[in-house]
Amino acid sequence: MTKHVAVVTGGTRGIGAAICKRLKNELGYTVIANFGGDEQKAKAFSDECGIPVVKFDVGDYDAVQDAMAKIAGEYGPVDVLVNNAGITRDGTIMKMDREMWEDVIRVNLGGCFNMAKAVFPGMKEGGWGRIVNIGSINGQGGQYGQVNYAAAKSGIHGFTKALAQEGARFGITVNALAPGYIDTDMVAAVPEPVLEKIVAKIPVGRLGHADEIARGVAFLCGEEAGFVTGSTMSINGGQHMY
């Protein structure tokens, strides 16, 4: 069995951490977790699960190229990529400045391009690859006060469909997964009255769990998912159906 090498961006916390553990423990992949911020929490994650961590800014094209070259040199060609890293800079358009807009687009959408650009040639040469981009329910249905985040996540869904067409003949599948509201630190930062209103709109009556997202990602990254490409898997408790 081929030993696949996977990189998960934003992989040391929340949904990303759950994805890393699934890919390692369920699929047996060699997994490297990217992070961009808290070194102490990243080290704690690595110590806990034995997954190596690498710090770089996914929104920085040159930093991505350098980091991915080093990862490939140490662990082998990266043939599984999960673009999970994301940030929020919320505010209505009246209050949102240009920097808030550009930060979110640069990291959330630009990061997908930078990472895919770094691994696609190797996947093409190897004749096999899995790219999974983490979108959002808010990229599908919009959200008040998130024109930047919604635009970036919606862009991810279009990016996925276009790249899937480029990769298909080379054995590279490209899919997206759109989580609903999951019990992560990002959602925990939402004010309690607002969160109560959100949960009230979820038909299953609760927030999702990070591991529920990770299960979907593991399927899309597996050997058996070779006929699934250009798709978006929505895991949102029924909050948004289409």
Among all residues, which ones are annotated catalytic? 149
CA distance 177 to 216: 8
Rounded to 5 degrees, φ, ψ at 48 are: -70, -45
Distance CA(238)–CA(199), nearest Å, equals 11
Nearest to 56 by CA among 47, 69, 45: 69
C-alpha separations of 174 from 165, 167, 234 in Å: 8, 7, 15
User: Is 43 in contact with 67 (CB distance < 8 Å)?
Assistant: no
Q: What is d(CA 31, CA 52) in angstroms, rounded to the nearest whole number?
A: 7
* 3-state SS, residue 164: helix
